[in-house]
Amino acid sequence: MIDRILSRTGVGFALLFMILELTYINAKSLNYMVQGLSQSDGVFSIIGAIAFSMVTILIMRLSSRTWLKIMFPFLDTALVLCGFNLPYAEDLFGNPVRFALSVFFAVFTGLITYSLGQINAEMHDGSKDNDSAAKQIESNRIIEEQKRIIEDLQSKQIDSKRIVDDSKRIANESKELANEFLANHILFLNWTNSKKKAENCNGHEAKIKGMAEQIKSGKSISVDDYLKVVK
């Protein structure tokens, strides 16, 4: 659990604390420069110190230029070294241990700033890579879904064409059967009409007889032709 908290928020808190520490050191240096001439000088010294500190972190986190990522921690190292030694400017080497500690803390601050900036940038890049990978996976899923939909449509189109072809085939077969049945029906009607007495016959029987003669001669009579006659 602690590892999870540190991995998510540890770098951010560490950067925040470094900004506060650099702000404190830089504010001391700016106040030393203006010698507290006015209250506004003190306020803007703090504002400037915050700006200097945040710019360093932003450069380390967002800049793609290597020389800037090296130069800004180096400048912070120099500022921290000077800030720690401001009260002892007149006798800088009077206490060698104190001076050595100021050098150590200044270098350590520069290294921490550089390292935290690099870690945060790597985490940011890793997050972007994960987002890109997630987007790519989603895009691939959408593409595969579209392919599946297209394949389904093509399959349905093939099935529809098969149904249409089957319907046409059935219609043709039905038409052939109807024509075959019609020929027998006409011949049967002509035979029954021939049994009628002459006074009971009308023009309808003559038409049926004409179609029967055509069938006997080898011609075919369509259903449409038959319907025109019997109407």
pLDDT in tens, the chain (231 residues): 555 555 566 666 777 788 888 888 888 887 787 775 667 767 777 787 888 778 877 777 777 777 887 888 888 888 888 888 888 878 888 888 988 998 998 898 888 888 877 777 777 665 555 566 777 888 888 888 888 888 888 888 888 888 888 878 877 776 776 666 777 777 777 777 776 665 566 667 777 777 777 777 777 776 677 766 666
Residue 219's pLDDT is 76
Residues belonging to the chain: 231
pLDDT at 199: 59
Cβ within 8 Å of residue 44, ≥6 positions away: 30
- Are residues 53 and 23 in contact, defined by beta-carbon separation less than 8 angstroms? yes
Query: Which residue ranges make up each domain of the chain?
Result: 2-144
Cα(109)–Cα(117) distance, integer angstroms: 12
Read off the tokens for 124: 């940011």
Q: Which residues contact 138 (CB under 8 A, 6 or more apart)?
A: none
Q: For residue 7, give Cα distances in angstroms to 125, 175, 224.
A: 15, 80, 87
Report the distance separating Cα 225 and Cα 72, nearest Å: 101
Would you say 80 and 109 are in contact if contact means Cβ atoms under 8 Å apart?
yes
